[in-house]
Structure 1
Amino acid sequence: MESKVSEGGLNVTLTIRLLMHGKKGETVKKMREESGARINISEGNCPERIVTITGPTDAIFKAFAMIAYKFEEDITNSMSNSTATSKPPVTLRLVVPASQCGSLIGKGGSKIKEIRESTGAQVQVAGDMLPNSTERAVTISGTPDAIIQCVKQICVVMLESPPKGATIPYRPKPASTPVIFAGGQAYTIQGQYAIPHPDQLTKLHQLAMQQTPFTPLGQTTPAFPGLDASPPASTHELTIPNDLIGCIIGRQGTKINEIRQMSGAQIKIANATEGSSERQITITGTPANISLAQYLINAR
C-alpha cells in the first residue's frame, strides 16, 4: 500500500501499541480498510488485548481518530439508558517502552505538561512497568479531538527518541510464555530456562506442554530437535557499585533469584572486600544465558 506524505504527517512507519478490553472484530476490519494502517489484535482469551497499529503516521492518526470516535459513540450509547448527566471522557491506554517514557515526561515533567496544555487531554504515565515487561502504560483521556492531537505529539516524541536497549513487550495474562529480547535474539521462558525463541512459538509451546517438567538444558531433550542440548558454558564478570548491589539482590535475595531463574545462568556475588566500593559478580552459563542475565541485571 503506497501512502502519500500527508500535510504535517511524517511518512515514517511507526508502531503504536494500545491496551483494550473486549472484542471489536468487525470494527477493526472497517478501521483497517479506512485508515490504511495495519491493525493487529493480540490473540488469547484474556480480558485485555493489545492492539498494535503500524503504518505511516497519517494512517496511524486516522486509525486513532476512528478508535477515539468509536469509544465516544460507545459512551454515548451506554449513557442513553443511564441517569448520569455528565459524559465521561474517552480514555485510551497506550503501551510505551519505559526507555521512551523519560522523553515523554521531559525534564521535571516539562514535556508532558506541554502536551497536556496544548492538547487539553489528560496524560498519565504509569510509575511502574507493566507485569513481566519493560513497557509502561500511558493513559490518555479527553475528547476524541484532544486525544488525536495528543497521540500526534506522543508519536513525534517516540520518533525523536527511539527506545534504548532491549524491550520486553507487555503481554496480557494469561499469556503462555513471556518473550524476552536480549542481544538481538528473542528468548522464551520455559520453566526456569530461557530458550532462543523461534517463529513457531506455538509449536515450541506444544512441545513444551507434552514434556513437563522441563528438563535442564544440560540433558538432551528429544522434544526440541535442533536445539543444541548443552552449549559450551562460559563465564562473564561484572563489577557493580556497592550502593547498587542491594537493588540487584533484593529483599532476602528475591531479585537475584528471579534473575537466576529467568536467565538460567549461575550468578555469584563476591563478598565486599575491604576498602573497595565495588562488588564482583560472576555469571556462568551459555552465552545466551549470560546476555540475558546481564540484561536483567542492567535493567534493575
Structure 2
Amino acid sequence: MKRFSDGNMGGPYKRSRMGPDDIEVRLLIPSKVAGSIIGKGGKNISRLRSDYKASVTVPDCPGPERILTVCSPEVETIIKVINEVVPNLEDTSGRSKTGDDVDIRMLVHQSQAGCIIGKGGLKVKELREKTGARIKIYTNCCPDSTDRVVQITGRGNTCTDCIQEMVELLKTVPVKGVDNQYDPINFDDLYAEEYGGYGQGSGGGGGGRGMMGGRDMGGPPIGGRDMGGRDMGGRDMGRGGRPAPFGGPNARGVGMGGPPPRGGGGFGSGGGGGGGGFGGGGSRNGFGMMQENGQTEAQVTIPIDLAGAIIGKAGARIRKIRLESGAGITIEKPLPGATDRIITITGLPNQIKMAQYLLQQSVHENTNVARNHRY
C-alpha cells in the first residue's frame, strides 16, 4: 500500500525505492528460507524482478528473521510474486508433511490494522469466511517499530487470496502518525511470540507446570549440596507442582557460589544471605526431563519485581546470558494474580548450570535497578 506518512524515515533499515504509484507489501520471513527465495548468485530473485517488473528485496540480517518486500503499481503483480515464494514458506509452517498449510506473516502499520479488523471484528470475520484463511492480528508492535504482524494460515492459494483482499483494503487507508518500519536487526527472542516474530519458542512450549512431576524427581543435585535444599527442587518439585523458587522461603537475597567450571560451591547458599539460589529441577540428575539429544530442561521461579534484573533494557541481559551459557532460556509472563514468573532453561547439564550461575549473578548485580524500572 502507498506509504503516505508524516513520520520519521530514520533507522538503519533501508526502505525499498518506490515510484509514486507503487504499492508495497512486506512479509516477515524466517532467515532460513531467504536463500531459497534469493537463489544461487541471486538467480531466483533476479528472475522474479525480470518476469514481473517488480521490486523484490530480501535485505540481509544476522538474526532469525528477515523482511521480503515486493513493490509494484499492480496488486495482481505483487500476488503473483508472493505465489512464487509460497513453496519456500511451506517448509516452515510446521505442517510440511501434510503439504497443505502455509504460514505467511504480513507487516502492516499500526494505524492501518483497524481496517482489517473492522468494527467489533466484523471485517476480519468476513475475510475469514470469504477466503477460508485463518487470520491472527498481533496486538503488540514489532520491536522499535510501528508495524504489527498479520498472520495468515491456510493453503497457499487461500493465503494469497486473503493477502490480496487485505491489500485492497489497505490501499484505502493512508498511514497515520509516525511510520517506523520494522528492522529485523531489532529482533527480540524474549517477546517474539507476543508480536508474531520467529523466535526460538515459536510453535511450542513446555508441557505446563506439572511436566516435571513424579515422586522421585527431587534427588541430589549436581555441583554440591547448596544448589537447592528441600524447597529448591526436592520434595516440592516431586509433587509436580510449581517450579523451584528463586530463593528460599525467607530469602533476603540471592546466594551466589563460584562459577560452574570450578565446581564445589553450588549455586544456592553463599554470601548473598539467607536462602538458596536457583533450584535444581526434576529428575535424579538435578535437572528436568532428558531429551533424545542429551539436553535437559530445568524450571525455576523468580519474583516479578526481580525479572527486570535478568531481562535488562530491551532484553539485553537475557540475550547476553543465552549467548554466554549456550542454553535456551525463556521467561514466561506472570499469570493473573501471580507474584512470580517461571524461567525455563534448556540445554546440556553444563549449559544449564552456567545459565543458572549467570542468572543469579545478574540478579545479584542488578536487583536495585530492576525494582525501580519495569521491563
Normalised by the length of structure 1, the TM-score is: 0.49
The structure with the largest strand share of the pair is 1
Point out the structure with max Rg over C-alpha: 2
